[in-house]
Chains A and B, each alone.
Chain A
Amino acid sequence: MIRALIALLCGSLFGLGLLVSGMTDTAKVQGWLDIFGAWDPTLAFVLGGAILPMLAAWRIAAQRTQSRLGSPMPAPAEPRLDRRLIGGSALFGLGWALVGLCPGPALAVLAWGGRSAVIFFAAMAGGMLLAHLPALREKATP
């Protein structure tokens, strides 16, 4: 119960941050990706602002064996780059530019983005399930 409450709180703050920062405005996101046009640098401030608290959080996490609610801290970051990471990230970047939404904002705009938001989210959900197709997953090692 307490885990769900904390998750609700974190999700709420995340959602509000997405809205305040401009990540749910696809014109802004596409403007950030448009380095050869009228480039909009706002997203650099969003990413920078988001990384700052996390820099401190990882330092604190490194000194602890458990989170406040008693679960183990995440395992050390996997160092290995593989084809799935490279190909998947390239595909994600392409889709991000096509519409201007990444997964977090795609979820948030379901509430007020109308038909377009529903179509995009449904396609994204379908894509997330398609990613389990063996043909896409078996080339795990480079």
Chain B
Amino acid sequence: MPIDWIFGLMGGLMIGTAAAMYLLISGRIMGASGIIGRLLDGTNRTAEPLAFVAGVILAPLILTIAAGGAPETNMTANPALLIAGGLAVGIGTRLANGCTSGHGVCGISRLSKRGIAATAIYLAAGFLTMAVLRHGLGWL
């Protein structure tokens, strides 16, 4: 749709503002995989990351209820794809110590070499996977 980029920009500014507040007020880097991963492995199970996670789940839920319906996720129902994709995202982001929010948003904006390299690599891997699986094998 032609107006999608406006929503993209607006949503992006909201994500960046959240990251800026978390940095300047709390002194934290807003990285989703790190926050989730440290809650899971027990490295940081304080109220702070728990509250962050609660916000990520509850705020969009409240908005969608107020708007009268959930948006489409268009997610595959194929369990093999879901499990393989989930495992790869989970292992990969924890090994790389960051994902789209940590390396992408917070890393690139501070001109971090690791953030820029990670983003270039996961984008390249994503482009390649999509090219092979959608256009080569017709799986996606």
- Is B137 part of the binding interface, using a Cβ–Cβ cutoff of 8 Å? no
Interface of B is mostly: helix
Q: Which residues of B contact A30 (CB under 8 A)?
A: 130, 134, 140
A residues in contact with B110, CB < 8 Å: 54, 58, 77
Query: Are B10 and A20 in contact, CB atoms less than 8 angstroms apart?
Result: yes
**B20 — which chain A residues lie within 8 A by C-beta?**
53-54, 56-57
Assuming A74-B28, A103-B36, A131-B90, is B55 touching A14 (CB within 8 A)? yes
B96 contacts A85, C-beta separation under 8 Å: yes
Q: How far is A18 from B105 in the complex, measured between Cα atoms in Å?
A: 13
The majority secondary structure among interface residues of chain A is helix
Chain A nearest Cβ from B49, distance in angstroms? 7
Give the contacts of A54-70 with B (CB-CB under 8 A).
54-58, 60-61, 64, 66-69
Inter-chain contact A99/B52, CB cutoff 8 Å: no
Across the interface, which residues of B come within 8 angstroms of A1, CB to CB?
A: 47
Contact of B91 among A7, A10, A88 (CB under 8 A): A88
B127 touches A35 (CB 8 A): yes
Using a CB–CB cutoff of 8 Å, the interface residues on chain B facing chain A are 4-5, 7-30, 32-33, 36-37, 40-41, 47-61, 63-64, 70-77, 79, 81-97, 99-101, 103-115, 117-119, 121-131, 133-135, 140
A-B contact pairs, 22 of them (CB 8 A): A3-B48, A6-B26, A8-B55, A12-B56, A13-B59, A17-B13, A20-B14, A21-B15, A28-B4, A33-B127, A50-B15, A71-B26, A88-B97, A88-B118, A89-B117, A90-B92, A93-B126, A98-B81, A100-B74, A101-B85, A106-B89, A128-B37
